[in-house]
């Protein structure tokens, strides 16, 4: 099973532990980005994962490519050009203090991509699945056009297309997001979202839900999934359900809606090490399960279990093995030392 993902990978500079930026004497350097995170997870699950992006010709980009390749991701379709790798600074929250992200990604290589550089028919040859997020088209009109052409080519080739809406208010407005993403949705089979994305991008809200207060109503999110399906004709809609009690303590579950029926996962109580990349690990788990022909119930259980484990791992990448997800699904969530 070959999966192709397309988007930006960034240099991540994070404060150690729960230090604030104005406290930290050093920053921890890693890499991450929505679609790259998905590719890494899929590769670690044993999949054939190709990541497509555009990076400059410098040592930072080379280090990033080496890291991705070392984790099993096929990087041969990465374009080289432009002047810089995008950066984000992460200040990890704790207790009632939220984590914060500061972007330094303007004029990154992928934001200035020429869509004609991407030969999608060749890139997608032999692929079974194409994945992108709402972050990539938010970077620039050029990146949005490149995403559209990739999704259109995949659809024409009969490849399953998934999109994680991933609304980022620091990158664009709800109005612009709604306009651009609506045009992309006609090529999408599987839509992935969190408890806020559908509202921020398409104005579809779970009535009665209180995201900041940690209140989740299952029936309301079935309504959201139903409305998304009716509007865009998706084959499936997956929604992560996060109960945010604090930056350190969340409830975590998910919904998969397909064929007019809703499937809910079990709920996990999370003590969080790092929540960045949690949604991407969910998307990867869902893709792995659906591409492997698992039932809707098994697919949502696998996606939520995989992303549950991600919250215990520092960094964007979900560095877990397939066997670890399967052990959690089998009921081993005790955290006991494995000897």
Q: Kindly state whether residue 118 falls inside one of the protein's structural domains.
A: yes
DSSP-based helix, strand, coil % in the chain, nearest 5: 35, 25, 40
The string of DSSP letters for 72-93 reads T-B-TT-EE-SS---EEEEE--
Of all residues in the chain, what percent carry a pLDDT higher than 90? 85
- For residue 294, the 8-state DSSP code is -
Q: For residue 193, what is the domain's CATH number?
A: 3.40.1190.20
Return the residue matching tokens 């929604």.
Answer: 239
d(CA 166, CA 154): 20
For the cut 50, the answer to whether the pLDDT of residue 337 exceeds it is: no
Of all residues in the chain, what percent carry a pLDDT higher than 70? 95
Q: Residue 79 to residues 9, 51, 57, 231: CA-CA distances in angstroms?
A: 12, 10, 10, 35
3-state secondary structure 200-253: HHHCCCCCCCECCCCECCHHHHHHHHHHHHHHHCCCEEEEEEEEECCCCEEEEE
Looking at residue 28, what is its pLDDT?
A: 96
Q: Kindly state whether residue 152 falls inside one of the protein's structural domains.
A: yes
Looking at residue 339, what is its pLDDT?
A: 41
Q: Kindly state whether residue 272 falls inside one of the protein's structural domains.
A: yes
Q: Kindly state whether residue 237 falls inside one of the protein's structural domains.
A: yes
For the cut 70, the answer to whether the pLDDT of residue 215 exceeds it is: no
d(CA 221, CA 285): 20
Tell me the pLDDT tens digit for each residue of 27-63: 999 999 999 999 999 999 999 999 999 999 999 999 9
Q: Give the Cβ contact number of residue 34 at 10 Å.
A: 26
For the cut 70, the answer to whether the pLDDT of residue 209 exceeds it is: no
- For residue 305, the enclosing domain spans 2-327
Looking at residue 211, what is its pLDDT?
A: 55
Closest by Cα among 225, 218, 219 to 199: 225
Looking at residue 195, what is its pLDDT?
A: 77
Q: Kindly state whether residue 233 falls inside one of the protein's structural domains.
A: yes
Tokens of 270: 């999370």
Domains held by the chain: number: 1
- Taking each helix axis from N to C terminus, what angle separates 322-329 and 296-310, rounded to the nearest 10 degrees? 110
Tell me the pLDDT tens digit for each residue of 261-316: 999 999 999 998 988 999 999 999 999 999 999 999 999 999 999 999 999 999 99
The torsion angles phi and psi of 14, rounded to 5 degrees, stand at -120, 145
Return the residue matching tokens 């490519």.
Answer: 65
Q: What is the mean pLDDT of the chain?
A: 93
Summarize the confidence of residues 126-149 as an average pLDDT.
Answer: 97
Closest by Cα among 338, 316, 326, 337 to 38: 316
Q: Kindly state whether residue 332 falls inside one of the protein's structural domains.
A: no
Q: Kindly state whether residue 339 falls inside one of the protein's structural domains.
A: no
pLDDT band at 218 (very low <50, low <70, confident <90, very high): confident
For the cut 60, the answer to whether the pLDDT of residue 319 exceeds it is: yes
Tell me the pLDDT tens digit for each residue of 173-200: 999 999 999 999 999 999 999 878 999 9
Query: What is the model's pTM?
Result: 0.94
Which has the minimum average pLDDT: 79-83, 155-159, 241-245, 293-297? 241-245
Summarize the confidence of residues 232-257 as an average pLDDT.
Answer: 94
Sign of CA dihedral 228, 41, 152, 84: positive
Q: Kindly state whether residue 338 falls inside one of the protein's structural domains.
A: no
Summarize the confidence of residues 128-154 as an average pLDDT.
Answer: 97
Pairing state between β 160-164 and 129-133: parallel
pLDDT band at 219 (very low <50, low <70, confident <90, very high): confident
d(CA 227, CA 216): 18
Non-local CB neighbours of 162 within 8 Å, separated by 6+ positions = 129, 130, 131, 132, 188, 189, 190, 191, 192, 283, 286, 287
For the cut 50, the answer to whether the pLDDT of residue 86 exceeds it is: yes
Tokens of 227: 């409305």
């Amino acid at each position: 099973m070959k999966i192709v993902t397309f988007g930006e990978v960034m240099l991540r500079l994070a404060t150690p532990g729960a230090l604030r930026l104005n406290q930290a004497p050093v920053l921890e350097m890693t890499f991450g980005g929505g679609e790259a995170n998905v590719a890494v997870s899929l590769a670690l699950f044993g999949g054939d994962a190709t990541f497509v992006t555009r990076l400059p010709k410098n040592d930072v980009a080379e280090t990033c490519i080496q890291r991705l390749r070392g984790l099993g991701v096929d990087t041969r379709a990465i374009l080289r050009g432009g002047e810089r790798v995008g950066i984000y600074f992460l200040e990890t929250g704790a207790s009632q203090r939220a984590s914060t992200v500061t972007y330094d990604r303007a004029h990154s290589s992928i934001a200035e991509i020429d869509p004609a550089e991407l030969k999608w028919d060749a890139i997608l040859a032999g692929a079974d699945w194409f994945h992108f997020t709402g972050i990539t088209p938010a970077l620039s009109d050029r990146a949005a056009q490149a995403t559209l052409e990739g999704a259109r080519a995949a659809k024409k080739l009969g490849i399953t297309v998934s999109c994680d809406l991933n609304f980022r208010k620091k990158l664009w407005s709800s109005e612009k997001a709604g306009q651009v993403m609506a045009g992309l949705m006609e090529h999408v089979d599987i839509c992935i979202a969190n408890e806020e994305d559908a509202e921020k991008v398409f104005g579809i809200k779970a009535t009665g839900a209180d995201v900041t207060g940690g209140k989740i109503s299952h029936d309301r999110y079935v309504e959201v999934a139903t409305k998304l399906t009716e509007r865009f004709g998706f084959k499936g809609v997956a929604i992560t359900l996060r109960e945010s009690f604090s930056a350190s303590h969340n409830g975590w579950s998910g919904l998969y809606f397909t064929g007019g029926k809703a499937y809910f996962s079990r709920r996990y109580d999370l003590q969080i090490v790092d929540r960045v990349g949690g949604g991407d690990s969910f998307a990867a788990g869902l893709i792995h399960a659906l591409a492997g022909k698992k039932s809707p119930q098994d697919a949502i259980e696998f996606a939520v279990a995989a992303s549950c484990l991600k919250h215990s791992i520092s960094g964007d990448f979900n560095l877990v093995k397939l066997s670890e997800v399967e052990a959690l699904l089998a009921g081993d969530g005790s955290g006991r030392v494995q000897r």
